[in-house]
Chains A and B, each alone.
Chain A
């Protein structure tokens, strides 16, 4: 479990974290999102003991984290750098020695299977693709089998296949019951695996909750339908129904926002349109996405300096 209270961190005069509060429960995959330079990597570096905090409390499994102290978490930094003259197996053996694992050979073989690099295990890491290197990095992060794994942008700069491979490993970790703190700009990845999401903005968590809670809170549930011909009377009839909150029309295309949930509203609208003389040629339900929620949250609380952090 990760507990952060009132976390503060500044780089020279620029305050990146201004009292961050965050909790990641055991066994949870927590999607940690925010704009570039907002402090995600800084938070993760503090959690792993690589960076000293200026204030606040950071606890991992109940133990306070200190800089340069030993923190029992697996960590994959952003764009990990590996020893390219080593083979995958040799590198993981080295990581095994780092964590003083009692049976390095056996554990290395297990990790190689988890990350799906059995066929490339004895090839030099320098010849790996970006996606393969990222998988080796994840292998290093999970080697010591800590309950908590911190992944900083594990799918950045990967092609779709590389991303899919990495996301599969993250799903495997989720299935193993690991607590995963995942930072990424690819919000569809977060929607795929995360149990809860935290949006970091202006040095603090601006919004947090499960995906379901966030979708309900920021529901912008809209239906879009198109007629074969324009119809002004239909607008009046729609507004007299009880389930339409607002309506916008563009001659033949109608944008309807419901006063009830998306599913119920969509059903009621379909029933209504089926009884109307106008011919509907296209019908679409548009639910809120995490991207839209993220944009709304960041727009509601703009970053103090335009979101540009100077970190040195």
Chain B
């Protein structure tokens, strides 16, 4: 019963307060903006002065649906993730800061259940919204480009994309619940994802970790299924571990 009401509470907090809009609005923007930008790029290049030496680049550049989707993944994983983290600030640490969790816990709401409710609702919401955004970007770019990607080819990348953002939400909840500070947690998670990803990629070590999912989200050629499966499993396991860690830490957290 507590879990049912806990899930309802988190659902209401995310949707009734319209915080989900902070995540959906960037999604809608990039769904349309990235494919249109990719499509317009040859025209923009044509308009550039010839003495810039971009003729070679113009010849190489081929606008395609795959490029549009990759652009969408890249932009939305950054700005969309930032929007998601900011939308989650209140739930990640705000309950502790304003002490709104005190009375429910005093009345017997189990701390573990309180945290588990957040770990179910927010990563699931991040997963669903990002998957729907990906599908919307695919549908819109289908009409813009002749060079298309088959629907079957995007299923695994789409899941990788959703899982990536769900993991970001889980990490945000962990940091926020442990520190009690939503704003700082959002900044730390964003920096972690941005710079650690760049660092691992530069050293060619970006595999078998949640950050590798972003590369997979933009890859439509046949890729290594075992590698994909293992990365996804590791990400799920990491998410579950984060949840358990947070539940344990919250048991001992001083709320007043």
Contact = CB atoms under 8 A, between A and B. Distances in A.
Interface of A: 41, 45, 48-51, 68, 70-71, 73-77, 80-83, 85-86, 90, 93-95, 97-100, 137, 140-141, 143-144
B204 interface: no
A95 B107 CA distance: 7
Interface in B83-116: 98-100, 102-109
A41 B255 CA distance: 13
A50 B9 contact: no
B4 A85 contact: no
Given A68-B252, A85-B16, A97-B5, A48 B100 contact: no
Contact of A50 (B2, B106, B107, B251): B106
Contact of B9 (A49, A94, A141): A94
Given A50-B102, A51-B256, A143 B13 contact: no
A93 B5 contact: yes
3 residue pairs, one from A and one from B, having the closest CB atoms: A97-B5, A98-B109, A81-B100
B252 A75 contact: no
A75 B108 contact: no
Interface string B1-44: 11011101100110011000000000000000000000000000
A196 to B, nearest CB: 24
A28 B109 CA distance: 28
Contacts of A143: 107
A98 B108 contact: yes
Which of A68, A74, A98, A141 is most buried by chain B, counting CB atoms within 10 A of its CB? A98
Given A82-B103, A90-B12, 13 more contacts: A50-B105, A50-B254, A75-B102, A76-B103, A81-B99, A83-B12, A94-B5, A95-B104, A97-B5, A97-B6, A98-B104, A99-B108, A100-B1
How large, as a class, is the contact surface on chain B? 20 to 34
Interface in B204-256: 251-252, 254-256
A85 B2 CA distance: 19
B246 to A, nearest CB: 16
Contacts of B99: 77, 80-81
B109 A83 contact: no
Contact of A77 (B9, B102, B108): B102
The residue in B4, B107, B109, B251 that gathers the most chain A C-beta atoms within 10 A of its C-beta is B107
Contacts of B106: 48-50, 71, 73-75
A82 to B, nearest CB: 6
Contacts of A70: 108
Contacts of A45: 256
B13 A85 contact: yes
Nearest to B4: A97
Residue in A48, A77, A81 with the greatest tally of chain B CB atoms within 10 Å? A81
A8 B60 CA distance: 76
Contacts of B16: 85
Contacts of A73: 106
A98 B2 contact: yes
Given A77-B103, A81-B100, A97 B1 contact: yes
